[in-house]
Amino acid sequence: MRTHSELTVYVVYGGPLQALLGTLDQHLLLRVFMSLPTAAIEPSRFREALGHYASGITVITSHLDDEPIGFTCQSFYSVSMSPPLVSFSVMCSSASYPKIRQAGRFAVNILSGEQAKVSNQFARRGTDKWHGIDWKKSPLGNPVIAGSLHWLDCEIHAEHVAGDHLIVIGEVKALNPQAAATTQPLLYFKGEYCHLPTAAA
């Protein structure tokens, strides 16, 4: 009985709980007990572990009632090729996302290696995130931030609650038709911005 799982097997199949539960399906009982948490994961250690996964940085934007909306988002990924679906995760307590939900659409601005300041600016709360930001409207009316590596124009396709976050799935309706002026993405690794090594000429 070195682990919680082994202890569960012993209790269900050989201990007093088996006699008490009688004729209930044993496989169902095993699945229920095996799904119980074994130990709490400390948030700080969990965050530190996830920091070892390098990722790009995006700013999710939308526009509602003549107001541009946006926030920095690291949790962005592709979902499907047909139909073209992408997804991002946002905290349930986000002040920006309810407005994006109301608009029903959003743009994913994939930041370039020169846009660390933009990332920091849109990550703050209680400030004018759009101060000094040059942007134009996408085909769907979402803000596209100048200098971004690329952008995707999306309509909200689905939304799912996952713990303290929302998983938002968008269907891509338009893409950046022009090649980016820079090929260097903004990356985030172990709590710091970083860049890909420049290839030798």
The listed range with the strongest mean pLDDT (13-22, 94-103, 183-192) is 94-103
| Lowest-confidence pick of 40-54, 110-124, 139-153 | 40-54
Structure confidence at residue 181 as a pLDDT band (50, 70, 90):
low
User: Is 198 contained in some domain?
Assistant: no
The model's pTM is 0.77
In a 3-state reduction of DSSP, which class is residue 53? coil
Number of Cβ within 10 Å of residue 76's Cβ equals 19
Residue 102 shares a structural domain with residue 143: yes
The reported pLDDT for the residue numbered 126 is 79
CA distance 76 to 89: 7
CA distance 186 to 171: 24
Task: Name the domain count of the chain.
Answer: 2
* Tens of pLDDT, residues 8-28: 333 333 444 444 445 455 555
* Tens of pLDDT, residues 73-84: 999 999 999 999
Residue 9 shares a structural domain with residue 87: no
Residue 14 shares a structural domain with residue 98: no
Residue 165 shares a structural domain with residue 97: yes
* Tens of pLDDT, residues 117-150: 999 999 998 789 999 999 999 999 999 999 999 9
Residue 14 shares a structural domain with residue 53: no
Range of the domain at 29: 4-34
Residue 102 shares a structural domain with residue 17: no
Rounded (5°) CA angle 185-189-191:
120
Is pLDDT above 70 for 36?
A: no
User: Is 41 contained in some domain?
Assistant: no
